[in-house]
Amino acid sequence: MIHANKVMMLIRREFWENRSLWITPLVISGVLLVSAAFSGGPAGDGHGGLHFGPQVDGEVLMNPDPAKRDGIYAGYIGVLTLVQLAVLGIVVFFYLLDCLLSERKDRSILFWKSLPISDTEVVLSKALTALVLAPLIVLAVSAATQILFGAILWLRFHNSALGGWVTVWNPLVWLKVQVGSLVLVPAVVVWYLPLAGYLLLVSVWARKNAFLWAVLPPAAVLLVEAMILQSHNFADFLGRRFAGAFMIMDLPTDDGQSAPSLMVFVSHVARVFTHAETWLGVLVAIGFIVAAIRIRRYRDDS
């Protein structure tokens, strides 16, 4: 039986211990905004501008089509979220690897085990922290960052010649980007669930060096297969596990001329949810997580 209130408390505890989960997005947001405030314009001659957006050439800027200019703006603020999500991936990777090992390293597991909380509640709280709460925080920070970013652009450029040509603030575009993110993130999370489950399993099993335990076995399989069988099936499999979601989405490429409309974007992203491979991965992930819960029951380093 799982008590929701206990799981909520345990999730709060995860953010007390792992402050990087909420400090990192704030720091990144700060860096992005400072660079937006002090760098060159978002286009001009195409050099020395804000480099984290799609490349915009002068021709597009001269194009009076408002839809295209909005598309460029959506690309700019969408990239702010993508930067955050890329860093989140790294933070969550190390969080999951460490979360069930560190409690044994510092022996605090004996304190946690003295409380009426089940192994299921503990492991679930860690999985929910990494896969639901941390992404939600990043999306919230990103949404706020994009508004501030728009405000900075507006302040800098609304009176200049550029202001007439590029969108410097458009609430409707902002809203569309939020909707797009809220669809994209769950699709990516669901796709990566087996990896998350694998990391939890390594974390609960390893006595130290969780990173090596996570990386070396697959690396060894890669090497052995390449040397003995001279094939690369496992490499293909890993590649598919990492990039598969984006291959399935097959998002229309953004050539800077026209960004995909929200409907098109969402319909492409939603392909992940209807793909059998996604749900096969979910089943594997459930297996990993159940195994992690079982192992934590009697895991003891003392």
**Residue ranges that bind other proteins, judged by CB under 8 A:** 1, 5-6, 8-10, 12-13, 16-17, 103, 106-111, 113-118, 298, 300
Kindly state the smallest distance separating residue 164's Cβ from other proteins, in Å.
53
Q: What three-state secondary structure class fits 136?
A: helix
Instruction: Identify residue 281 by its one-letter amino acid code.
Output: G
Measured from the CB atom, the residue of 117 and 284 that comes closer to other proteins is 117
Binning the chain into helix, strand and coil, the percentages to the nearest 5 are 75, 0, 25
Measured from the CB atom, the residue of 12 and 158 that comes closer to other proteins is 12
Measured from the CB atom, the residue of 266 and 290 that comes closer to other proteins is 290
Let me know the angle formed at the C-alpha of 272 by 89 and 222, rounded to the nearest 5 degrees: 60
How far apart are alpha carbons 138 and 135 in whole angstroms? Answer: 5
Kindly state the smallest distance separating residue 206's Cβ from other proteins, in Å.
19
Measured from the CB atom, the residue of 45 and 301 that comes closer to other proteins is 301
Kindly state the smallest distance separating residue 207's Cβ from other proteins, in Å.
16
Q: What is the DSSP letter of 252?
A: P
Kindly state the smallest distance separating residue 16's Cβ from other proteins, in Å.
5
Kindly state the smallest distance separating residue 114's Cβ from other proteins, in Å.
5
Kindly state the smallest distance separating residue 122's Cβ from other proteins, in Å.
11
How far apart are alpha carbons 16 and 167 in whole angstroms? Answer: 40
Measured from the CB atom, the residue of 10 and 74 that comes closer to other proteins is 10
Measured from the CB atom, the residue of 112 and 237 that comes closer to other proteins is 112
How far apart are alpha carbons 57 and 59 in whole angstroms? Answer: 5
Let me know the angle formed at the C-alpha of 106 by 104 and 110, rounded to the nearest 5 degrees: 60
How far apart are alpha carbons 275 and 245 in whole angstroms? Answer: 9
Kindly state the smallest distance separating residue 5's Cβ from other proteins, in Å.
7
- Residue that is written with structure tokens 């809220």 in the block: 182
Return the number of other C-beta atoms located less than 10 Å from residue 12's C-beta.
13
DSSP sequence for 46-106: SSSS-TTS----HHHHH---HHHHHHHHHHHHHHHHHHHHHHHHHHHHHHHHHHHHHHHHT
Contact 60, 256 (CB under 8 A): yes
Measured from the CB atom, the residue of 4 and 276 that comes closer to other proteins is 4
